[in-house]
Structure 1
Amino acid sequence: MTLSPPILALFLADLLSLVLLVPAGLFALQLLRHWDPSSGRALQLRLEKRTYLVSAVVGLVFLAQLLLLPLFVHTVDRMALQIVGAMCAVGTLNANAWGLPALLLRIALFFLAAAWLVLHRLDARAPDYPLTRTKYVLLLAILPLTLAAAGVQFAYFMLLDPDVITSCCGSLFSQGTESVTAHMAGLPALPTMVAFYALLTLTLMAGLAYLRWRRGLLLFAGLATLSFPVAIVAIIAFVSLYVYEHPLHHCPFCMLTGDYGHIGYALYLPLFGATGLALGLLSARLAGGDSLRAVLQRDAPHLVIASMAGLGLFAALSAWLSWQSNLILLGH
């Protein structure tokens, strides 16, 4: 397969990420062994000084990881024109055994990187750095995942054969198969709509309640995180049908193409952003700590508002797409 500039950019970004994260991981091991904010030892002072630099570098790497997911999806979507049988990103990803695992690893990295960035932001605003251990444990968990994502993505692109006939999205989301995606596509529209909008409404109400009384952050963060898989199911079950105006077209990727005005990006970006913020808040809230409570009281409302805005935008756009569509789905 010809290595286009986007593919080379993905390879280079993964290589640079690993070059920077491996030394950061070694530092994390040292920090977890010796970190003691109450100590005045010289080692603790050196760790505190080094953690500023390491955290800044890791933060830049994880910001880049947030951008690599849309770049990867856009790249495989554009490559559908070169793969026999592919109509969208689904066909390109199905061209060999490494495509879908590469996408899933990219999604996992996106959410973990977003959570780490939220933890780092909150940790830096507390006087005793209560989340330092938590975020470096998370870094050690992300490091092998980054290596796996880089390796799987490299195998996917290097083993991609444009002459191999792949399957289109219709086969993956066909209700006649026994796959998980087929079961999602076969869900009845009305109950799925009710469950989807009820969960989003409950999540937004929990967010408003937190902003009003500063209680229930764990509830909001948990509901907002849960909203992501429910939203993906809703896209496959009924939102996609209204976008394509076809009762049997359930693909969540075709809406990313120019044929549909790239409307999928307007749906997915706020959803992913809102979920990433919620996951970070959930991790911080579970980590606890007296000093962290004061930081959350001061800074969490801004993150809650941002997460609510993303979920609200996703819900509003989904409802608008359903309302303006020429497809009459309910009642048939």
Structure 2
Amino acid sequence: MILEPGILALILLSLITSGTILYALRHIVPILYAWDLKSGSEGQLQLERRTYLLSTLLTWAFVAELTSLLLLVYTAENLHERFTGAMCAAGVFNLNAFGYPALLLKLGNFLLAGCWLVLNRADNSARDYPLIRGKYLFLLVLTVPLLAEGVVLGLYLLNLQPDVITSCCGSLFGSRAVGLGSELAVWPMRPLGLVLLLAYVLNLGSGSFVLRKGRGSYLFALSGLLVLFLGISAILSFVAPYFYELPSHHCPFCLLKADYGYVGYLLCGGLLVGATAAAAVGVLQPFATRPSLRQIIPALQRRAVWLGLTLFTLCFLVATLRIITTDFTLFG
């Protein structure tokens, strides 16, 4: 293990999140089975106080979970100079078998934790806590990937060895590499760009329909997740080479460097947060007919739609502007 502030902070945040989840598990089962807001018993009053405490603790724990993704990527980028063969964060994540699984779990849990926070916000905004069982059942689903992330991340960080020689961009995202990253990197530009544009138009249209008519939430959520996947694929396939002005350089992590204006944080972060906002719109929809939520959920959905559309559009504009303003081209 390497004693770095970023690594120690990641371990601490992971312990806090996992500990909070385990503490919550001790108390949510009685809430799921015995919650009755119409009752004025001492037991119900204790449950109400307990759920208020759990909601506050879990909110902060999930905020820490969201923040830790940025910290993980930033720390990996800063550590690359310590390892032979690592030119960026790609090589640091490749130092042992747990690096990329930890990153993928972080990405998935970012989406899930973001949706839980929105669901919790809706529940706390209503006078009768109508989503109390729903959000804690969702928490039970979240428990497995969150605890798995804590274990895998711990194994990754604790097994970082400075004397290990690692491989980096060319061997991970090059045309001769083996793996998902390299497969996405060789997708042809024109078909992928066209499909991505259609997904974005679908997301824009369904989002506009949600804003005007209050319908189309599921389509907006699914198209948002599709934009995330296709957007990341496009970054690997042709957006990154346009920033590097090198047809063979597909690494998304080098975009995090100051040489490229840290644009990788904007592109990848914008796509991820936008997709999380889109997914949250779909997660809220089944509860939109609850009497106490008829005004709350549409308002939250509209905010999430605006956030998702704004971030997706910003990412598209930044990438498109680079492609049309540089002298470099991927077409002979």
Same fold (TM over 0.5): yes
Alignment of 1:233-244 (within 5 A): 233-244=233-244
Q: Which residue of 1 aligns with 2:305?
A: 304
Cα offset, 1:26, TM superposition: 1.4
Q: Which residue of 2 aligns with 1:144?
A: 144
Q: Which residue of 1 aligns with 2:127?
A: 127
Q: Which residue of 2 aligns with 1:16?
A: 16
Q: Take 1:224 and 1:98, find their aligned partners in 2: how far apart are those partners?
A: 28
SS class of match (1:208):
helix
Cα offset, 1:288, TM superposition: 5.3
> Quick check: 148-157 or 74-83, which moved more?
148-157
Cα offset, 1:225, TM superposition: 2.2
Contact 1:173 1:182 in 2 (8 A): yes
Q: Which amino acid aligns with 1:256?
A: L
Q: Which residue of 2 aligns with 1:215?
A: 215
Q: Which residue of 1 aligns with 2:88?
A: 88
Alignment of 1:1-332 (within 5 A): 1-287=1-287, 289-291=289-291, 292-330=293-331, 332=332
Cα offset, 1:24, TM superposition: 1.2
Return the structure number with greater relative CO, CA threshold 8 A, min gap 6. 1
Cα offset, 1:147, TM superposition: 2.5
The structure-2 alpha-carbon separation of the partners of 1:38 and 1:279, relative to structure 1 and needing over 3 Å to count, comes to: farther
- Deviation track 1:231-270 (CA, whole Å, cap 9, x = no partner) reads 1111111111111111111111110122222110111222
Q: Take 1:22 and 1:284, find their aligned partners in 2: how far apart are those partners?
A: 25
Q: Take 1:56 and 1:288, find their aligned partners in 2: how far apart are those partners?
A: 23
> In the comparison of the two structures, how many residue pairs are matched?
331
Query: Normalising to structure 2: TM-score of the pair?
Result: 0.94
Q: Take 2:222 and 2:133, find their aligned partners in 1: how far apart are those partners?
A: 22
SS class of match (1:154):
helix
Q: Take 1:213 and 1:146, find their aligned partners in 2: how far apart are those partners?
A: 36
Gapped regions of structure 2 (runs ≥ 5): none
Contact 1:86 1:92 in 2 (8 A): yes
Q: Take 1:7 and 1:179, find their aligned partners in 2: how far apart are those partners?
A: 27
Q: Take 1:293 and 1:217, find their aligned partners in 2: how far apart are those partners?
A: 15
Query: Normalising to structure 1: TM-score of the pair?
Result: 0.94
Tell me the percent identity. Answer: 38
Cα offset, 1:130, TM superposition: 2.6
Contact 2:288 2:297 in 1 (8 A): no
- Deviation track 1:199-244 (CA, whole Å, cap 9, x = no partner) reads 1122112111221222212221221122211111111111111111
Q: Take 1:150 and 1:305, find their aligned partners in 2: how far apart are those partners?
A: 32
Cα offset, 1:41, TM superposition: 4.2
Contact 1:134 1:287 in 2 (8 A): no
> Quick check: 186-195 or 154-163, which moved more?
154-163
> Quick check: 237-246 or 47-56, which moved more?
47-56
Cα offset, 1:48, TM superposition: 2.2
Cα RMSD of the aligned pairs, angstroms, is 1.8
Cα offset, 1:14, TM superposition: 1.4
Q: Take 2:45 and 2:280, find their aligned partners in 1: how far apart are those partners?
A: 27
The structure-2 alpha-carbon separation of the partners of 1:136 and 1:274, relative to structure 1 and needing over 3 Å to count, comes to: same
- Deviation track 1:88-138 (CA, whole Å, cap 9, x = no partner) reads 111111111111111111112211111111101111223332322221122
SS class of match (1:187):
coil
- Deviation track 1:31-60 (CA, whole Å, cap 9, x = no partner) reads 112223454444333322321121011101
Q: Take 2:264 and 2:205, find their aligned partners in 1: how far apart are those partners?
A: 26
Q: Which amino acid aligns with 1:129?
A: Y
Contact 2:192 2:230 in 1 (8 A): no
Q: Take 2:326 and 2:65, find their aligned partners in 1: how far apart are those partners?
A: 35
Cα offset, 1:295, TM superposition: 2.4
SS class of match (1:123):
helix
Contact 2:115 2:276 in 1 (8 A): yes
> Quick check: 43-52 or 6-15, which moved more?
43-52
> Quick check: 180-189 or 289-298, which moved more?
289-298
> Quick check: 288-297 or 158-167, which moved more?
288-297
The structure-2 alpha-carbon separation of the partners of 1:178 and 1:95, relative to structure 1 and needing over 3 Å to count, comes to: closer
Cα offset, 1:181, TM superposition: 1.9
The structure-2 alpha-carbon separation of the partners of 1:10 and 1:178, relative to structure 1 and needing over 3 Å to count, comes to: closer
Cα offset, 1:196, TM superposition: 0.9
